[in-house]
Amino acid sequence: MPAFDFPQDLLDAQAALDEVQAERDLFAQTLPWSAEPTPGWKADKQLHSDYRAEKEDSPGYTPEEAERLAGYRARILELTTFVLTHPYWQTLEGPDRVEARTALKHAHDPAVPEA
């Protein structure tokens, strides 16, 4: 894959996007399984197994949780829009543009030492 000379603001926006998405994902793991209060359920026993899927009652999201999640979504939309509409993309054509978008997504990955 060829090397690309990304502008610093584009690199910074992609790094911020990655960070916000990771924060949102960690936060989402702490939330109840349903945004609205929802009764739990228990499925029928699976054939040839004793496994029985079930969910506890969900209290739903608190107003604070819903607001925080909405904040993450708004910031992700803002950063995604910035990255996708950056003028840099107009300097590339065809397959180079696709390769550059892929390279940008991995620009902040830790370097893998060569064996």
For residue 22, tell me if it sits in a domain. yes
For residue 12, tell me if it sits in a domain. yes
For residue 43, tell me if it sits in a domain. yes
For residue 115, tell me if it sits in a domain. no
For residue 101, tell me if it sits in a domain. yes
What residue spans of the chain are helical by DSSP H? 8-28, 63-84, 94-105
For residue 41, tell me if it sits in a domain. yes
Predicted pLDDT at 115? 62
Contact between 75 and 20 under an 8 Å Cβ cutoff? The reply is yes
Predicted pLDDT at 103? 95
Cα 27 to Cα 42, 59, 111, distances in angstroms: 26, 16, 27
pLDDT digit string (tens) for 42-65? 998 888 888 888 999 999 999 999
> What are the residues facing 55 on neighbouring strands?
41
Domain that holds residue 94: 8-105
d(CA 56, CA 53): 10
pLDDT less than 70: residues of the chain? 1-2, 112-115
Please tell me the total count of domains within the chain. Answer: 1
For residue 114, tell me if it sits in a domain. no
For residue 75, tell me if it sits in a domain. yes
Q: Helix 63-84 to helix 8-28 angle, to the nearest 10 degrees? A: 150
